[in-house]
Amino acid sequence: MKKFQEREISNRPTTEIPVGDTPAALALGDLNNDAAPDAVVVTAAGVPAKGAGAIVLPDFNGDGNLDAAVANTSSSSMSLFRGDGTGNLAAAGSYLTGRGPSTLAASDLDTNSGTANLIAGDSGSQDLTILLFPKR
Ligand SMILES: [Ca+2]
Ligand SMILES: [Ca+2]
Ligand SMILES: [Ca+2]
């Protein structure tokens, strides 16, 4: 039974999309508000996300448009990108984290704010960095 399922999946058509050297992180979200999911890929050598280890697509400013946050493992920071609701992401600053953030999560931890908070897992310093954003 298991072999049949594996063969069935492998025979389905696939689509390959070039994304550049060394894709390091991938996230899905509806960036242009057309109700269809979009994919965002960060490459390990990309600028300004050098050494990127993770990406999440929260709405960190509460305007209803998804934004992006990237963990910059090699520079111990995370970079934020503000989404405009049409699929564009504009740089919106960087924040220091602990050493070597390699994972990211987003959730509204202070639930009365209505905006996503970011949590970075810092593999080098073995701690978490939590960013809280005021609603703008
Ligand atoms: Ca979309
Ligand atoms: Ca937003
Ligand atoms: Ca919040």
Distance 19 CA to ligand 1 centre (A): 18
Q: What is the pLDDT of residues 74-102, one digit of tens each?
A: 899 999 999 999 999 999 999 999 999 99
**Dist. CA 71–CA 80, nearest whole Å:** 9
Residue 66 is encoded by which pair of tokens?
Answer: 């998804």
Q: What is the pLDDT of residue 101?
A: 93
Q: What is the pLDDT of residue 3?
A: 55
Q: What is the pLDDT of residue 43?
A: 80
Q: Which ligand is nearest to the CA of 39?
A: 1
Distance 110 CA to ligand 3 centre (A): 4
pTM for the model stands at 0.81
Q: Which residues hold their Cβ within 5 A of ligand 1, which is an ion?
A: 30, 32, 34, 36, 38
Q: What is the pLDDT of residue 49?
A: 45
Distance 119 CA to ligand 3 centre (A): 11
Q: Sheet of 68-72: strands edge to edge?
A: 52-56, 68-72, 77-83, 89-96
Q: What is the pLDDT of residues 18-73, one digit of tens each?
A: 888 888 899 999 999 999 999 999 887 654 445 678 999 999 888 999 999 999 98
Distance 80 CA to ligand 1 centre (A): 20
Q: Which ligand is nearest to the CA of 34?
A: 1
Distance 57 CA to ligand 1 centre (A): 12
Q: Which ligand is nearest to the CA of 36?
A: 1
